Structure 1
Amino acid sequence: MLAGPIFSREALTAPRQLKTYVLRAGYLFAFFVLLYTANQATFGWQQYRSLGATARFGAYVFQIFSFIQLTLLIFAALLFSAGNVAAEKDRRTLLLLLMTDLKDRELVFGKLFASLLNMATLLLCSLPLFVFVRLLGGVSTVQVAWALGITAAAVYAAGSWGILVAFWREKTFQTLSISMLGVVAFIAIVEMLAVLVGAELTAGRWIGAFDPYRSLLRVVSPFATENLTRINQLAPWESLVALVGLSAVLNGIAIFNVRRWNPSRTVFIAAKEDKTGGRTRQARTVWNQPILWREIMTKAYGRKIVLIKLAYIAFALLIGYALFRDTSSDSLVLGMIYWQGVGLVLLSLLSLMLVNAQAVTSITTERDGQTLEVLLVSEITPKEFIGGKLLGVFYNAKEAILVPLVLIGLMLAQGLILPAQVVYLSVGFLMLCAFAAMLGLHSAISFDNSRTAIINSMGTVFFLFIGIFICMILIVEARSSFALQLPSFLIFIVGGSIGLWTSLTHKNPSPALTLSAGVLPFITFYAITAFLLGESFSVFLAVFAAYGFTALAMLVPAISEFDLSLGRATIEKG
C-alpha cells in the first residue's frame, strides 16, 4: 500500500518473465563456482582436511562473499533505480505518470521498490548460500544475519540516492554520473571524517556507521575490530540506524520535490521570437561533420555537466592527497599492490565507468528522444555517425581520461614507478578507455531498450573489474600451489567468457566478437599472473592486444553493418 500501483504492477509482472529466474539461478551459480574455485585454490586436491582448516576456509569464503555481494548489489541498485526513472524521462512517459492521481510518495516509493525488487530477491536467494557457508564453520549465525542486514540497508540507501538523482536531473548521463560520483564521494568523505575524528570515539563510530564496508568489516572480523568476548555480543545497530535514516531523508527530499523538479522547466520553453520577425541570435555554422559538431559545440548533455567534471576533479584531488601525504609506507594491500596503486585503480575504474556511461547514453538519448530516426533518414554515413560519437565521447570525458594520467605522473615524480612503467600504464589506460567507449556504443546499437543497453554496457565493465579483483585474491591465496589449482581457475574464466559472449553477440554476432569473448578472459588472466610476478611489459602487451582487438571487433561491424543494426536504407552522397 505504501508503494502503490507502480510496485504492484512490477511485482505481478516480474515473476512471469524468464529473465527473472535466469538472473536468480545465474547469481547463485556464480557464487557456487566461486566457492569451488576458492576451495581448490585453498586445498587443491587434498583429501584430508582438519576441522580447523575447514573453519578457517569458511571464514575466508564468508568474507569474500559478503564484500562481493555488497558491492554487486549496491552497484545494481544504483543502476536499476537511476536507469528506471531516467528511461521514463527519456521516453516522456513520466509526464503521463504525473498527470495521474498517484500521490508523490506512491510515485517515489513505487519506482524505488520496483527497481529494488530484483535486488531483494537476490539477497533472499543468497541466504541458503550463506547458511551453507555457516555449516563449514568459522562463521556464526549472528554474523550471517548482520551481514545480510547491513547489505539490505546499504542497497536501500543506494537505491534511494539513485531515485533522488533521477527525479532531480533531466539528462541520463547526468543521472548516472552524479549517482556514481555521489556514492564514491560519500564513502570517501565518511572514511576521511572517521579518521579525522577518531574511529575509536563515539562520534567517529557513528560517522563510520554510514560506510557499509566499514560496518561489514566489523561483522566478518568481529574479534579483530571489536572488544568482544563472545560472538553473540556483536550488534552493529549504528550502521542499520544510520543507513536506514539516511535512506528516509533521501526519500523525504525526493517526495517533497518530485513535482517541483518534474516536469522540467526546459520541457515547455518555447523559442523566443523577435518582434521584427528576424532571428533572435546569429545562426551557428555547422561543421562538415555534424555529429561531431553536435557532440562538442552544443549542450546536448545538459548545462550541469561542468559541475560533474568539477566533482570528479575534486574527488581525484582528495584521493591524491590521501595517498601521497605519506609515501614512506611500503606495505602491500592484500599482498598485491601499494596504496598509491589502489588509488590509481579506483580512480581509473571510475573514469572508465564515466567514459562508458557517456558512450552508451550518447546513442540511447537519441533513440529515446526520437532524433535517431531523423539522423537515419539523412545523408550521414555510418563512418561519420560512429566516428563523431566516438570522438565526442573522448572530448566530453576528457577530464576523466586526463586526471588518471596526471596521477601516473605524480607517481613517477614520487619515485614509485619507473619511466617505462609510465608508458605502459598510460598507453594501457588509454586503450581501456577506447574499449569502454566502444563497448558503450556497441551496447547502445545492439539493444533496442535503452535501460537494458545501459545496464548491459556498464555492468560488463564493472563485472570485468570485479572478476579481475576476485582472480587476484584467489591467485594470491593459491600462490604456493598455483599449478595444481589451474583447472579450478579455468572454470571461473570459462564462465566469464560465456557471459562476455552473451553480451557482445546479442544482436549481431560475428566470428571476431566470438573470438574476443573467448580470448579476452584468458589473456586477462595471464595479465593478472604476469602482474603478480612483476612482469610489467607482459601485462602491457596482454592488455593492449586483448582489449585493442576487442574494441576493433566492435568498431568494424558498428560501421560496416550500421544500416542493418539500426534498420535504415543507405543514402549515398552525390
Structure 2
Amino acid sequence: MYVFENPVLQRELLVNLRTKRAFVLLAVYQLLLATVVVAAWPSDQRLDLTSNPPSATKLVNLFFLGQYVIASLMAPSFAAGTIAGEKERKTYEMLLASPLRPGAIIIGKVVASLTHIGMLIIGSLPIIVLCLPLGGVSVYEVLAAYLGLIISVVLFGAIGVMASSYFPRTSSALVVSYLAILPLVIGACLFWASMASEGDLRLKISAIVFPAFGLTAVILMGAAAAGRMLYPPDVGSEGKEVIDLEREAEEAVGLVIQPDQFPDRLFAPPRKDEMMADGANPVYDKELHSEIFSQGTLMLRLVIQISILLAIPMMGVFLFFQQQHAAWFGVYVIVFNMLVGPSFLASSITNERERQTLDLLLTTPLSPVQILWGKFVVRFRISFVLTSFLMWPLILGAALNTSFWSNGLTVLGMFLIIAAVCLVNCVIALACSLFSRKSSIALLTTYAVLLMLYVAPPAVSTLTRTLEMSAPVIAQADWTGVASPFSALFALPLNEEIAPENPEVNAGKLHIVIGYFVFSATLVMAITAAMVLRLRVRQGLSDG
C-alpha cells in the first residue's frame, strides 16, 4: 500500500508524466545543460589528459553546480502543491476520508512529485560522461555528486510537502519552502566549490555524512506531515480553516503580529470598525482588510523570522568583515523580495477567477486603473515593508562602519536599486496574474520571468570571463546587465577605503546602473499599459 499498490502514487505519476509539460521540460533541461557544457568546453586544440587540466575541472564543477541550482529551484515547485493543491481543488477532505494511511499518502505524494526531477537528473548522465575523458574529476566523485544531488532533491521535496501540509495555498507553501531551502543551497554550493582541492574529503562527506543527515531530516519531516494529516486542524469548510487572528496571536510561537502596534500596522492593518468613506476604492479596502489575512499570519511570521535570522550573519560578514563584498547583502535582499513579493501579487487576479467573482468585478463601474491600483497598492505595500525590514541592517552597518561614510552615494544607490526591484517584481507578478488562469501557474511564470531577467545577464557575463573570451565579447555581455539588479549592484563604485587594490571595483560601471533604472522604468510603463489595455478589452477574462 505504501509504494507498489499506492493509488495516490499511481494517480500522481499518470497525471504528471503524461502531460506535454513533462516532455517539454525534459527537452529544455537537457538542452540547457548541453549548452552549458558546449559553452564551457575547453578551446585548446590539444589537451594533456594525463595532467588533469584545470579547464576540465572547471567544466565539471560548473556542470554540477548548474544542475544543483536548477534542481533545487524545481523541486519545491513540484512538491509545494501536493497537499495544498488538494485544499485548493476542494478534494482534501475526500483524501482524508479514504482508507489510505497518512504515511502512504505522504510517501505517494513525495515520490510522485520527485519522480519527474529524478528522470531529469538521470537523463543528464550521458552529458557528464562526455566530460569524464577530459580528466579533472574521478568516476567516484561523479557518483558522490549525483548521490548528493539526489538526496538534496529528496530533502527539498520533503520540505515542500511539509510546508504544503501547513498552508492552504500553494503560493504560501512555495515561498516558505524556497526560504527554507535558500541557505541549504548556498551552503552546499560553497562547500562544493571550496573543497575542490580536497577531493577525498569532499567525496567522503558527499557520500556518507550528507546522506545520513539528509535522509534523517526527510524521515522527520515526513512523519510531521503524516501526523498533521492524521489529526488535521484545518478541516472544516472544504479543508479551509476559519482563522481567528486574536486566538492565533495567543497561540503563536515566536514572533506575534500585533496590527495595532508599530511597525506591524504598516503591513497588517487593525480590524476595521467604521464604514468605508465615500469615494474610497472598494477594491483597495477589500484587499487590505479581508483578502491578505483571510488564511492567518503563519506565512508572514515564518517569512519574517527566517529572513531576519539569515540577515544577521550576512550583515556581520558583508558589512563589517568583508565590506568590499557589501553588494552581496543587497543580493540577499533582492532574492528575498523575488521569493516573497510575487506571492502576494501573483494571486491577485487569479483568485477572482478561482472564486468565480471576476465577472462580477468587471461589471462594476470601477475603471481598469482603479481595479489594478486597488490590488497593487495593498500587496506592494506588504512586500515593500517586509523587504524594508532587511534594509535596516544595511542602514545599521553603513552607520556603524566608518568605511561606508565616504561611500554614501553607493549606499543610496543600493537602496534605490532594491526599491526598483520591489516595484518591478510586483508589476510583473500582477501582469502574470492577469494573463494566467491559476495562481500556481501565475507564480511559477513570475519566477521564470524574473530568473531570466535577473540571473541570465550576470551568468552570461561571468561565463564569458570564466572562458577568457575576447574583450569585445565581454563588453557586449556586460551590457545585458542593464536588465539585472544584481549586475547593477556590483556596478556601483567603492573607494579605496573599502576595496583597496581593486581598480575595477573602485571605478564601478555607472552606465550599467543608469541603464538598469532606465530599463526598469520602461518595463514598468510597458507592462502597466498592457494590463490596462487587457482589462479594457476584457476578451478572454471571463471566469469560464
Q: Does 1:78 align with 2:49?
A: no
Q: Residues 316 and 347 of structure 1 are in contact (CA less than 8 Å); yes or no, is this contact kept in structure 2? A: no
Instruction: State the 1:33 CA deviation.
Output: 1.7
Aligned to 1:307: 301
Aligned to 1:224: 198
Alignment of 1:479-494 (within 5 A): 481-483=470-472
Q: Does 1:286 align with 2:259?
A: no
Q: Does 1:147 align with 2:118?
A: no
Distance of aligned partners of 1:49 and 1:185 in 2 relative to their CA distance in 1, 3 Å threshold? closer
Separation (CA, whole Å) in 2 of partners of 1:357 and 1:432: 15
Query: 357-366 vs 256-265, which deviates more?
Result: 256-265
Separation (CA, whole Å) in 1 of partners of 2:528 and 2:538: 13
Distance of aligned partners of 1:234 and 1:137 in 2 relative to their CA distance in 1, 3 Å threshold? farther
Separation (CA, whole Å) in 1 of partners of 2:29 and 2:304: 37
Aligned to 1:549: 522
Separation (CA, whole Å) in 2 of partners of 1:115 and 1:165: 14
Query: What letter corresponds to residue 451 of structure 1 in structure 2?
Result: S
Aligned to 1:350: 336
Q: Which has the higher contact order (CA 8 A, sep 6+)?
A: 1
2:115 to 114, 117, 139: 117
Separation (CA, whole Å) in 1 of partners of 2:105 and 2:374: 38
Q: Does 1:238 align with 2:209?
A: yes
Query: What letter corresponds to residue 388 of structure 1 in structure 2?
Result: G
Q: Does 1:429 align with 2:418?
A: yes
Q: Residues 170 and 264 of structure 1 are in contact (CA less than 8 Å); yes or no, is this contact kept in structure 2? A: no
Distance of aligned partners of 1:484 and 1:437 in 2 relative to their CA distance in 1, 3 Å threshold? closer
Q: Residues 291 and 388 of structure 1 are in contact (CA less than 8 Å); yes or no, is this contact kept in structure 2? A: yes
Q: Residues 171 and 439 of structure 2 are in contact (CA less than 8 Å); yes or no, is this contact kept in structure 1? A: no
Q: Residues 341 and 422 of structure 2 are in contact (CA less than 8 Å); yes or no, is this contact kept in structure 1? A: yes
Q: Does 1:363 align with 2:349?
A: yes
Alignment of 1:66-105 (within 5 A): 66-105=64-103
Separation (CA, whole Å) in 2 of partners of 1:184 and 1:24: 24
Separation (CA, whole Å) in 1 of partners of 2:235 and 2:193: 42
Alignment of 1:460-479 (within 5 A): 460-478=449-467
Separation (CA, whole Å) in 2 of partners of 1:51 and 1:386: 61
Separation (CA, whole Å) in 1 of partners of 2:428 and 2:117: 25
Aligned to 2:312: 318
Instruction: State the 1:107 CA deviation.
Output: 2.2
Separation (CA, whole Å) in 1 of partners of 2:79 and 2:453: 22
Separation (CA, whole Å) in 1 of partners of 2:319 and 2:176: 28
Deviations 1:355-374 (A, max 9, x none): 12221133333333334344
Q: Residues 308 and 390 of structure 2 are in contact (CA less than 8 Å); yes or no, is this contact kept in structure 1? A: no
Alignment of 1:415-564 (within 5 A): 415-416=403-404, 418-478=407-467, 481-483=470-472, 524=484, 534-564=507-537
Instruction: State the 1:145 CA deviation.
Output: 0.9
Query: What letter corresponds to residue 240 of structure 1 in structure 2?
Result: P
Separation (CA, whole Å) in 1 of partners of 2:241 and 2:296: 17
Instruction: State the 1:225 CA deviation.
Output: 6.7
Q: Residues 148 and 206 of structure 2 are in contact (CA less than 8 Å); yes or no, is this contact kept in structure 1? A: no
Query: 166-175 vs 281-290, which deviates more?
Result: 281-290
Instruction: State the 1:522 CA deviation.
Output: 7.4
Instruction: State the 1:175 CA deviation.
Output: 2.0
SS of 1:345 mapped into structure 2: helix
Aligned to 1:512: none
Deviations 1:79-99 (A, max 9, x none): 221134333322323233233
Query: What letter corresponds to residue 377 of structure 1 in structure 2?
Result: T
Instruction: State the 1:239 CA deviation.
Output: 0.4
Separation (CA, whole Å) in 2 of partners of 1:176 and 1:484: 38
Separation (CA, whole Å) in 2 of partners of 1:297 and 1:523: 35
Deviations 1:307-355 (A, max 9, x none): 135314522542345326842x47xxxxxxx443223212321122211
Distance of aligned partners of 1:75 and 1:321 in 2 relative to their CA distance in 1, 3 Å threshold? same
Distance of aligned partners of 1:186 and 1:33 in 2 relative to their CA distance in 1, 3 Å threshold? closer
Instruction: State the 1:399 CA deviation.
Output: 3.0
Query: What letter corresponds to residue 562 of structure 1 in structure 2?
Result: L
Distance of aligned partners of 1:446 and 1:125 in 2 relative to their CA distance in 1, 3 Å threshold? same
What's the % identity of the aligned pairs? 18
Query: What letter corresponds to residue 318 of structure 1 in structure 2?
Result: I
Instruction: State the 1:445 CA deviation.
Output: 1.7
**Structure 1 stretches of 5 or more lacking a match?**
189-210, 272-280, 331-337, 494-518, 570-574
Aligned to 1:136: 134
Aligned to 1:32: 34
1:18 to 11, 17, 20: 20
**Structure 2 stretches of 5 or more lacking a match?**
245-270, 493-503
Distance of aligned partners of 1:463 and 1:567 in 2 relative to their CA distance in 1, 3 Å threshold? closer
SS of 1:296 mapped into structure 2: helix
Deviations 1:265-298 (A, max 9, x none): 5737699xxxxxxxxx996423521221122233
Separation (CA, whole Å) in 2 of partners of 1:216 and 1:226: 12
Distance of aligned partners of 1:178 and 1:529 in 2 relative to their CA distance in 1, 3 Å threshold? closer
Q: Does 1:2 align with 2:2?
A: yes
SS of 2:341 mapped into structure 1: helix
Instruction: State the 1:10 CA deviation.
Output: 3.1
Query: 148-157 vs 454-463, which deviates more?
Result: 454-463
Deviations 1:361-401 (A, max 9, x none): 33333333334344233333221121112111221123333
Separation (CA, whole Å) in 1 of partners of 2:306 and 2:147: 31
Separation (CA, whole Å) in 2 of partners of 1:361 and 1:378: 20
2:223 to 252, 255, 277: 252
Deviations 1:46-70 (A, max 9, x none): 5444447873222102111212211
Query: 10-19 vs 57-66, which deviates more?
Result: 10-19
What RMSD over aligned residues (CA atoms) do the two structures have, in Å? 3.5
Deviations 1:408-445 (A, max 9, x none): 43453322472222332222222221111111111122
Aligned to 1:514: none
Q: Residues 472 and 528 of structure 1 are in contact (CA less than 8 Å); yes or no, is this contact kept in structure 2? A: no
Query: What letter corresponds to residue 549 of structure 1 in structure 2?
Result: T
Report the TM-score, using the length of structure 1 for normalisation. 0.76
Aligned to 1:397: 383
Q: Residues 156 and 247 of structure 1 are in contact (CA less than 8 Å); yes or no, is this contact kept in structure 2? A: yes
Alignment of 1:325-336 (within 5 A): 326-327=320-321, 329=322
Instruction: State the 1:523 CA deviation.
Output: 5.2
Q: Residues 360 and 454 of structure 1 are in contact (CA less than 8 Å); yes or no, is this contact kept in structure 2? A: yes
Aligned to 2:501: none
Q: Does 1:375 align with 2:373?
A: no
Distance of aligned partners of 1:324 and 1:282 in 2 relative to their CA distance in 1, 3 Å threshold? closer
Distance of aligned partners of 1:528 and 1:409 in 2 relative to their CA distance in 1, 3 Å threshold? closer
Q: Residues 291 and 389 of structure 1 are in contact (CA less than 8 Å); yes or no, is this contact kept in structure 2? A: yes
